[in-house]
Structure formats: structure tokens, C-alpha cells
Structure 1
Amino acid sequence: MFKKILIANRGEIACRVIKSARKMGIKTVAVYSDADRNALHVRMADEAVHIGPSPAAQSYIVIDKIMAAIKATGAEAVHPGYGFLSENMHFAAELEKAGVVFIGPPSPAIEAMGDKITSKKIAREAGVSTVPGYMGLIADAEEAVKIAREVGYPVMIKASAGGGGKGMRIAWSDDEAREGFQSSKNEAAASFGDDRIFIEKFVTQPRHIEIQVLADKHGNCLYLNERECSIQRRNQKVIEEAPSSFLDPATRKAMGEQACALARAVGYTSAGTVEFIVDAQRNFYFLEMNTRLQVEHPVTELITGVDLVEQMIRVANGEPLPFTQADVKINGWAMESRLYAEDPYRKFLPSIGRLTRYRPPVEGSTASGGIVRNDTGVYEGGEISMYYDPMIAKLCTWGPTRDAAIEEMRLALDTFEVEGIGHNLPFCAAVMDHPRFVSGDISTAFIAEEYPEGFQGTTLAPDLMRRVAAAAAAMNRVAEIRRTRISGTMDNHRRKVGDDWVVALNGDTFRVAIAADPEGSTVTFDDGTAHRVTSDWTPGQHLARVMVDGRPLVMKVAKIPMGFRLRLRGADLKCHIQTPRQAQLAELMPEKLPPDTSKYLLCPMPGLVVKIAVEVGQEVQEGQALATVEAMKMENILKAERTGVVKAIRTSAGQSLKVDDVIMEFE
């Protein structure tokens, strides 16, 4: 077995590989850029080598710098993680030339599957079902429009060397095909150094289901069942689960066998993933093969008990797989929520900054028999940089059934504390409660269909709102008692805390009476219904774990005047708790209105201005492109929300902007 391996990556995946290597008794080497000098993966590794400036193009994807780090540390093998050089055949070939083992597939397999045009041709020859489309190279936007018309709208415009949602656009018309072709080409060149584009038919209402394969150097290839990855935003996965609630055993077997047939056709070894789109009739079509470890691999590990990173290392070391296809079972259900540094309230645009608070839920077994796992690469006090992918953690849960895994995820998301940056935890929590998701009625269009105007929070069900109101009233009583005890008055003159309160919760008002005892409180509403509340929460704690009628409720808590800010299940609630007289007076207070910014185009995230598409004095129409801003490797086209005339342009291409910096003003 190897004595030392180098991880040619960063963030949570580098930390993940280090954990398995450490368990196997293997020393690890981390590499890092200027921005990652104090990163978690650098702290965790046995050694660390600086490889250059912050941009990935000057550090993590420079082969010569990685090779120099290998030589300097004497690493015998390299695990590439995902992204960066993980599917770069030239990197794999350079390692082979230097006598260093690549913990991944052979370079010819990477080459064959890394090019999406070539891979589809090979898949067809191997008997794998494929999507109709145009596999040749496309010269310009007008040719893209011509091909799109021939294939038939809607079409998917994709980068041949793409992955992770980069360089992908859906076009429903000629104009969108022109615009999408250029944006895909630009993103592909920036992310992969390869701007080739192809077009294929876009299957409407598809599910994204992928098969995990594992092959050794002794002719063994098997599939570890499937993962459902249909909850996506801009072709980037947000929530994954294993297995899929949609597949039946026959379809699972057929997809698995075709995935293994493709792997054998290219001489594949190591872990890899064959992605399919599946229509409503369970017809499935080959999408692509990722010749690396997938981001969502933990859900497969949770239902199979197989450590995929360990198996990759053992396969690279020449060992045969220790189990057969018959040994692969499905044990329970697993969910994964990707924690992104992006603001769901600003249409999921990237967010950067310092993590002033970062407290994941406790990993391991839960009180109800489930499992919580959090793969992360950050820590409290660390910086989220603009240079890399916005994903900072993967929260995973396991339960014996799908419903149990979802409930474990609800509690884990509510327990996860993140402050200092915008993040998508509220959105993930809202999805876990969405009736369509709970029923399994999902597709890759789920987010676009259910949140067409973006995410603006969620409304809790009436029964849950009452439980929250009861919990808040009981918590407020604890806070009031503490406040009287530190007021400096003598005990016999201490202000008495009353029993009657009015709880105002995001527009809903509940009149309650509290009867406390040593074990908890009984909160009775004015309609006569009562809830039993118990908790060990004390004022100042950021997290409240409460039992209401014997059912767990977890809320993030912050103090506001006369109440709390409560966050749970995707909702952000202002909760004011007042005496009846205070509530009566509060109704007379005027409401403060926010400032009017309708005449400005504001930068929605920190980023670089790539293009200004209009001029001063120009009349613009609703939906017209105004500017393009690049952030975290993605181009974001900002469009006019209404017809207007450009009065002033406050920035230019090449300038870096902060959130809410003015880009242009309208008359």
C-alpha cells in the first residue's frame, strides 16, 4: 500500500480524501494557493505545499506546479478529487510518465469519456441508450441556431469538456440559442480551457438519475445502485438522494448493466459515474460519464456501506474488489443537501465573506436511530473566497426509509448554524417540506417550476406555526424571568412575570396563557387548545432545541426588541411577544417603508464586470441583457425588469464590484 499520497484539490473533497487515507494509515500532502493558506485541508494534511496565486488557472490546474509538489514531497500517488485536474488526461499521462500512480481511471478512458461528443458515440456503440442531438463541432452562433432548429426546440447547449453545470444553457428560441451559445462558449473557455460546444435535444420533465460504477484492474466491474439528482438549479445539483423513489428493480438493473458495459468499453478502472436522464415512462438516455469521484458520493456510501475513496485507493494499488454485484444491497435511504455560499433571497447569487459562525450538526447516530454526516472544508472564522466553487459543505442524513431520511435532514438543517455570508440552508429546508418533493414527484425543472420568481422564504403550515408560537411564548417567559433577576431590585420588589401574552408571528397573532411548572410549560391558546413545551434553552443561546407535545422542534434564535428572530424549516420569522396592553399600543405604530431602488441596476453579488451591453440614452425593453457579471466561475447576465431609458452607466468592463454597487441608472 502507498505510504504517502498527494491530494491535487482543495476544500471539502480534499478533507474527505484525507479522512479515508488517515484511516488506512497513509500520509497525505495538501497543495494550496494564496487564498487557501489557512484552509482546513491544509491544517488536516501531514504536509502542505504552496502552489501559487489564488486564481485556479495559476495554481490548482497548473500541471507543472502539482508535479513539482509531488517531486518535493515524494508522494507515490495522487488523488485528484473532483473538478480541477480530476478529468484531465494530460495530467494522468504526466503522472504515469513520472512513475506516480493516478488514483483514478487510465488516461485513455478519461480522454474517451471527457469529451462529450466522443463519449456519446462510444456509448451508442456499446449499446447504451443516448439522446438525439448534433455531435459535431459548431462554428458560431448562427450555425447553433440552424442546428437547434433541426434538432427541435428546446435544446441543451453544452460545453464538450464541461461539468458541474458550467458551460450549459437551455434554449427555447433562436435568440436564446444565440445568447446561450456565446455564454456557454465563454464559460467553457474560462473553466476548462476548451470552448467547443455541442447541442442535443432537451428532454422536458426529465429526472437526473446516475449510476455509481466501480471497476478494478482484474476485470471486475459492478454498479452500486443509483442516485437521484433531479433537484437542480442552473444544471447544478442542490439535493441528491439514494436510491431513487422513481426506479423499479428492472430499470435499476438495466441502467446498471448499461453503465458497466460503457465502463468496460473504455477499459475503465476506479470509481466513476454514468449519468442518465429518465423520462416519465422510465425510458433512460445516456447523458455523460464522469471519470472521477462525484460530489454526491456520500449518499451511495450511506446506503451501501462502501467507502468509495478507500476503494479508489485500493484499486489504484492493484487490489481486486473485495465484493461482487450480489453483495451490493440497498440499506435504507440517504439524503444530501449541498451548502452553497449563495444568497437564495437574491436569486441564488454567490456570496463571499468571513464565516462569523459555522456550527454544523453533530455527526454520527441520532436519537431516532438515523445518521448525520457533514463533509466540509471550512471552519468558523475562515474566509469564503470568490475564486472557487461556492459549495462549502455537504450535509447528509440516513434513515431506514425515505420519510425518515427527510425528517433527519429537516432537523439537521435547522440545527446547522451559518452566519456571515449568504447561504442556501433555508432553501434546502423549504424543499424538504415541499409536498412535491416529499411525494417524490420531482424533475430537473422542480426549482424553476416551484420557485419561478426565486426563493423568498416559505410559509409554515398552520399547525407548525402554532407549535412555534407556543415554543416562543415559553422561551420568552424564561427570558423575562432572567431579566427580572438581573435588574438589581430586591427579591420582594421583583417585577412579577405575567401569564398572559400576545405572540405576533409574521402577521399571525396568538393570544396565550402560560402555566409553568418545574418540568416545562403548558401554553394554552384562546381557542382552548394547549401545547406542552419542554426545553433546556437559556437566553443567549443561538439554537433552541424544544419539544412541543413530545415532537422535536429546532430553531435558530436571535434577540430582537420585544421578541425573537426565529429561523426554521426555510422560514425567517420575526416573533414579537408582548403583554396585551403592549400589543394594543403596537398596532398604532406606523410601518417603515424600504428605499426605492427601482431606477437602478444594482450588482447582485461580488464579481467582475465582463460586459456592458447598452449605452447611455438607449431605450431598453423588459428582458433585454444589460450587463454580464462573472462570479465563482459563472457568467450572470443581468436583464432589464421593465422598459426604460439608460440615464447613466456607473461602471465598465473589467471592474470589480461589491453587492449593491450601482451598475447603471435609468430615467
Structure 2
Amino acid sequence: MFKKILIANRGEIACRVIKSARKMGIKTVAVYSEADRDALHVEMADEAVFIGPPAAAESYLLIEKIVEACKQTGAEAVHPGYGFLSEREAFPRALEAAGIVFIGPNPGAIAAMGDKIESKKAAAKANVSTVPGYLGVITDDKHAVKIADEIGYPVMIKASAGGGGKGMRIAHSTSEVVEGFNLAKAEAKSSFGDDRVFIEKFIVDPRHIEIQVLGDKHGNVIYLGERECSIQRRNQKVIEEAPSPLLDETTRRKMGEQAVALAKAVNYDSAGTVEFVAGQDKSFYFLEMNTRLQVEHPVTELVTGVDLVEQMIRVAAGEKLQLAQKDVTLTGWAVESRVYAEDPFRNFLPSIGRLVKYRPPAESKSDNITVRNDTGVQEGGEISIYYDPMIAKLVTHAPSRAAAIEAQSHALDAFYIDGIRHNIPFLSALMSHPRWREGNLSTGFIAEEFPKGFAARAPEGEVARRIAAVAAAVDSIYGERKRQISGQLIGRAVTRAGRRAVWLEREEIALDVARDGDVVTVAFIGADGKTGTPHKLSSSWKPGVPVWEGTIDGHNVAMQVRPMASGIRIAHQGYEVAVNVFTEIEAAAARLMPVGVKADTGKKLLCPMPGLVVSIAVTEGQDVKAGETLAVVEAMKMQNVLRAERDGTVKKIHAAAGATLAVDALILEFA
């Protein structure tokens, strides 16, 4: 077995590999760019080597720097993680030439399956059902349009060397093919150094299901069940689960056996994933093979009990698989949410900055519920513009799908991040969505259920009352602390019953509240003025703790609590609302206050996220129609097209191509 390995990656996957290596008694070496000098993976590793500037093309993507770092530290093997060099055939060949072991598949398997075009050709040769498409070289956008017309719309334009949703576009018309083709090529070039793309038929209402395979260097290959990855946004996975609510045992076996046959055909010898697009009728087609560890591997690990990183290391060291297919069993259900540094209320645009507070839920395993958080950041760290916006992968495991979802929902409510915007409100909203809970999924789920994007919503019904009750409990504790400071309260914390008006924004909920130790009793006041049944809230929460965790009538509840100048802001199950708790006298005065009106910015195009201006598509004095492209801004390796929301005339342009802009920086004005 290896004594020391190097991880040619960063962030949460580098930390994940370090954990398994440490468990195996193997020392680790991290590599880092200037932007990652203080990163968590650097801190966790036994050694760390600086490899260059922040841009991945000048650091993490330079094979010679990784090889030199191995020689410098005496690392015997390299784990590539995912992304970066993980699917570059040249990387394991360069390592082999230097006498270093690659912890991944052999170069031949990467060549055969890592390239999306070549993998489809290999699958077709092996009589695997594939999606109709064009796998040849596409010369330009006119050629792309011709191919799309022949295949029939909609079509998927996809980077040959792609992954993670980069370099991927769906087109429903010739104009969308032209734009999508050029954007996909640009993103593919930027992310993978390879601008080749292919086009295939886009299956309507599909599900994305993938099979985890594991092979060794002795000809053994097994499959470890499937993952459902249908909840996607912009072709990037958001939530994954294992197993899939669609599959039965017969379909699972058919997909697994096909995946194994394909892996054996290319002598696959590591962890890998065979992806399928599946119809709602359980029909399935080969999509691609990822010759690396997947981002969503934790759900497979939790339902199988197999440490995939450990298995990769053992296989690379020449060991035989200790598992046979008959030994693989799926136990319970696992759900994974990808926590990203992006603003769901601004169409999920990237957010960068310092993690002023980072308080994930505690990892635990009790009462048949497991909470796991794979992360590569820590409080005080910086979210950079240079890399993928993932902050963490929050995973829960339970005996049933419903229990795993409940555990995930609670864990998301207890996940507190401050300093940047993040997608936890959206993830929380998804967890309580009826269609998600029913398992009625497709890759179009988010577009169909949130056609106008994710907007702030006003809590209603039971959720509103729950938020109001917690707000009243928090307010009572703040009140007690104030009285203790002023000397008005001595001894046990007991609050006399009092009438309160709780405002969720401008929505008013009347209630009575009383506190006795850690228990707060809340009774809501009906429209008829009568007091309802009391509800008991129990929590050890204290001021300064960012998450209120406790029970309401015996049911576990978590809410994020942020103090404001005149109240508190509470986040719960996808709702974020400003809350004020008034006495009756204060409420009477508040009702007389005018409602503030936001300034109109409709005549300005503001930069929606920090990024680099790739191009300005208009000129001063130009008339534009709603939907026309105004500018393209790149952030975190994704190119974002900014379009006109209405007809108008460009009055003045304030930014130029090549400029780096902050969020809300002015790009142009309309007359």
C-alpha cells in the first residue's frame, strides 16, 4: 500500500480524499494556487505545495506542476478528484512516465470512455442503446444548425470533454442552436481546454439515472446500484438520491449489467459512472461514462456502506476487489443537496466573498439517521471567482426515502451561512415540494415548477404560524436578557403572559406568549378574538446562536435567526422573512407607518454577479427588443447572457469587454 499520495485537486473533494487516506494510514500532499493559500484542504493535508496563480489553467491544470510536486514530496500516487485533470488521458500517461501511480482508470479506458464522442461510438459498437445524434466534428454554427434540423428539435449541444453542466445547451430552434453552439464551445474551451462539441436528440421529460461501477486490475467489475440525478438546473445536478424512486429490481439489474459490460469492454479498473437517460416508462439509453469519481458518490457510499475513495486507492495499489456482485446490497435511502455560492433570488447567479459565518449542521449518526457534510471551506474562508461555486454537499441517510427527505429538510434549516448568498433557501423549498416528495421527477423539474425562477415567497398557513411562534419565543428571550442587564429580573427566567403582534413583513399574526425556563407557550388569537390551543416550544437557544433548534409540540424544528436593526430575519423551509414582534402599543404605532417603495432601476442594466465582461453586444443609440442579448458576463467558468427585459434604446454604455465588475455595477443605461 502507498505511504504517501498527492491530491491533484482542491475544495471539498480534496478534503474528502484526505479523510479516506488518513483512515488508511496514508500521508497526504495538497497542491494549491495563490487563491487557495489558506484553503481547508491545505490545512488538512500533511504537506502542501504551491503550484501557481489562481487561474486553473496556470495551476491545477498544469500536469508538469503536479508531477514536480510529487517528485518534491515523494508522493507515490495521485488522486485526481473530479474535474480539472481527472479525465485527461495525458495525465496518467505523464504520471506513469515519472514512475507515479494514477489513482483512477488506465489511460486506455479514459481514451475510450472519457471523451463523450468516443464513448458513444464505443457504446454503439457494443450494441448499447444510445440516443440519436451526430458524433462527428462540427465545423461551425451553420453546420450545427443543419445537423439539428436533421435530428429534430429539441437538441442537446454538449462539450465532448465536458462535465458538471459546463459547455452544455438545449436548443429548441435554429437561433438557439447558433447561440448555444458558440457558448458551449467557449465554455468547453475555458473549462476543459477542448472546444469540441457534439449534438444529440434531447429526450423530452427524461430522468437522469446513473450506475456506479467499480473495477480492479484483475478483470473484476461490479455495479453498486444507481443514483437518481434528475433534479438539475442549467444541466447541473442540484439534488441526488440513491436508490432511484423510478427503478424496480429488474430494471436496476438490466442497467447495472449493461454498465458492467461496457466497463469490461474497455478494461475499466477503478470507480466510474455509466450515465443513462431514462424514460418515465423505465426505458433507458446510454448517455456517457464519467471515468472518475462523481460529485454525488456519497449517496452510493451511504446506501452500500462502501468507501469508494478507499476502493480506488486499493485498486490503484493492485489489490483485488473484496466485494463480489452478490455482496452488494442497498440499505435505506440517501439524499444529497449541493450547497452552492449563488443567489437563488437573482436567477442563481454566482456570489463571492468571505464566509463571515459558516455553521453547518453537526455530522451525526443516531436513531437510524445519518447526517454527513462534505465540504472544503471553513468560517473566515474566501469564495473565489476562479472556481466552481460549490460550498458543500449535505447528505442524509435514513431507513426510507420519506425519512431521508425529512432529515435533509431539517439539516438544511440548521445550515447557517453568512457573508455571501447561497442556494439553501431553494434547496429547502425543494425538500418540501409535493412533486419531489412523490418522486415524480424529470430533468425538467426545476424549469417546470419554477418557470419564473425562484422568488421570495410569503409564508402562509402552518409555516407562517410556526415562524411566528419561534419569533415570539426568540423575542421573549431577548426581552429577558434586557431585563437581566438592567437589573429588573432576578432568578429563574419566567415571563408573564403577554399579547404580541408578530409581523411577517406586513402580515400580522396575533398571539399570547409566556416563558418558563426553556419552555415557551404560544397561543394564537383567532379572528373572533378567542385564544386557541396553546403550543409548547422547547429549546435551549440563546442570543448569538444563529440557529434556533428545538421542538414545537414535540416535533423537531430548526430555523435560521439573524438579528436586524428593528427585529429578526428568519429562514425556514425555503422562506426568508423579516419579522417584528410588537407589543399592542407598538403594533398600533407600526400600523400608521408608510410602506417603503423600492427605487426603480428598470432603465439600467446592472451586473447581476461579480464577473468578467466577455462582450458588449450593443452600441449607444441602438434600439433593442425584449429578449435581445445586451452583454455576456463570465463568472466561475460559466458564461451568462444578459438580455433586455423590455424594448428600449441604449443611452450610454459604462462597461467594456475585459472589465471586471462587482455585483450591481452599472453596465449600460436605457433612454
Shorter-chain TM-score: what band? over 0.9
Task: Name the residue aligned to 1:525.
Answer: 524
Q: CA deviation at 1:560?
A: 2.8
Aligned 8 A contact 1:127 1:258 in 2? no
Tell me the distance in 1 between the aligned counterparts of 2:151 and 2:486: 75
Aligned 8 A contact 2:112 2:119 in 1? yes
Aligned 8 A contact 1:480 1:497 in 2? no
Task: Name the residue aligned to 1:643.
Answer: 647
| 1:306 maps onto 2:310 in alignment | no
| 1:34 maps onto 2:38 in alignment | no
Tell me the distance in 2 between the aligned counterparts of 1:376 and 1:331: 24
Task: Name the residue aligned to 2:262.
Answer: 262
One-letter identity of the residue aligned with 1:603: C
Task: Name the residue aligned to 1:294.
Answer: 294
Tell me the distance in 2 between the aligned counterparts of 1:463 and 1:495: 27
Tell me the distance in 2 between the aligned counterparts of 1:341 and 1:561: 26
Question: Residues 388, 515 of structure 1: CA spacing in aligned structure 2 closer, same or farther, 3 A cutoff?
Answer: closer
Task: Name the residue aligned to 1:10.
Answer: 10
Tell me the distance in 2 between the aligned counterparts of 1:524 and 1:43: 50
Tell me the distance in 1 between the aligned counterparts of 2:74 and 2:517: 64
Tell me the distance in 1 between the aligned counterparts of 2:618 and 2:86: 39
Matches within 5 A, 1:70-109: 70-109=70-109
Tell me the distance in 2 between the aligned counterparts of 1:244 and 1:40: 33
Question: Residues 464, 604 of structure 1: CA spacing in aligned structure 2 closer, same or farther, 3 A cutoff?
Answer: same
Aligned 8 A contact 1:502 1:578 in 2? yes
Aligned 8 A contact 2:103 2:316 in 1? yes
Tell me the distance in 2 between the aligned counterparts of 1:545 and 1:33: 38
Tell me the distance in 2 between the aligned counterparts of 1:604 and 1:524: 43
Taking structure 2 as the reference length, what is the TM-score of the superposition? 0.97
Task: Name the residue aligned to 1:453.
Answer: 452
| 1:621 maps onto 2:620 in alignment | no
Gaps of 5+ in 1: none
Task: Name the residue aligned to 1:148.
Answer: 148
Tell me the distance in 2 between the aligned counterparts of 1:105 and 1:380: 35
Aligned 8 A contact 1:208 1:229 in 2? yes
Matches within 5 A, 1:579-658: 579-658=583-662
Question: Residues 495, 487 of structure 1: CA spacing in aligned structure 2 closer, same or farther, 3 A cutoff?
Answer: farther
Moved more, 380-389 or 111-120: 111-120
Alignment coverage as a number of residue pairs = 665
Task: Name the residue aligned to 2:529.
Answer: none
Q: CA deviation at 1:461?
A: 5.1
Aligned 8 A contact 1:562 1:577 in 2? no
Tell me the distance in 2 between the aligned counterparts of 1:601 and 1:124: 48
Gaps of 5+ in 2: 527-531
| 1:279 maps onto 2:273 in alignment | no
Task: Name the residue aligned to 1:381.
Answer: 380
Task: Name the residue aligned to 1:24.
Answer: 24
Tell me the distance in 2 between the aligned counterparts of 1:113 and 1:236: 20
Candidates 543, 547, 556, aligned match of 2:547: 543
Tell me the distance in 1 between the aligned counterparts of 2:37 and 2:369: 36
Matches within 5 A, 1:34-73: 34-73=34-73
Aligned 8 A contact 2:494 2:515 in 1? no
Tell me the distance in 1 between the aligned counterparts of 2:614 and 2:518: 61
Question: Residues 39, 491 of structure 1: CA spacing in aligned structure 2 closer, same or farther, 3 A cutoff?
Answer: closer
Aligned 8 A contact 1:426 1:457 in 2? no
Tell me the distance in 1 between the aligned counterparts of 2:202 and 2:624: 30
| 1:565 maps onto 2:569 in alignment | yes
Tell me the distance in 1 between the aligned counterparts of 2:213 and 2:49: 32
Tell me the distance in 1 between the aligned counterparts of 2:489 and 2:357: 38
Q: CA deviation at 1:535?
A: 1.4
Q: CA deviation at 1:193?
A: 1.3
Tell me the distance in 1 between the aligned counterparts of 2:653 and 2:469: 52
Deviations 1:233-270 (Å, cap 9, x if unpaired)?
11111111100111111111111011111101111100
Task: Name the residue aligned to 1:120.
Answer: 120
One-letter identity of the residue aligned with 1:392: I
Aligned 8 A contact 2:476 2:515 in 1? no
Moved more, 121-130 or 1-10: 121-130
One-letter identity of the residue aligned with 1:278: A
Tell me the distance in 2 between the aligned counterparts of 1:214 and 1:434: 34
Q: CA deviation at 1:589?
A: 0.4
Tell me the distance in 2 between the aligned counterparts of 1:295 and 1:141: 32
Aligned 8 A contact 2:206 2:442 in 1? yes
Question: Residues 194, 394 of structure 1: CA spacing in aligned structure 2 closer, same or farther, 3 A cutoff?
Answer: same
Task: Name the residue aligned to 1:224.
Answer: 224
Q: CA deviation at 1:128?
A: 1.6
One-letter identity of the residue aligned with 2:465: R
Tell me the distance in 1 between the aligned counterparts of 2:391 and 2:469: 35
Matches within 5 A, 1:126-145: 126-145=126-145
Tell me the distance in 2 between the aligned counterparts of 1:68 and 1:409: 42
Task: Name the residue aligned to 1:435.
Answer: 434
Aligned 8 A contact 1:430 1:458 in 2? no
Tell me the distance in 2 between the aligned counterparts of 1:498 and 1:584: 19
Over the aligned positions, Cα root-mean-square deviation in angstroms equals 1.6
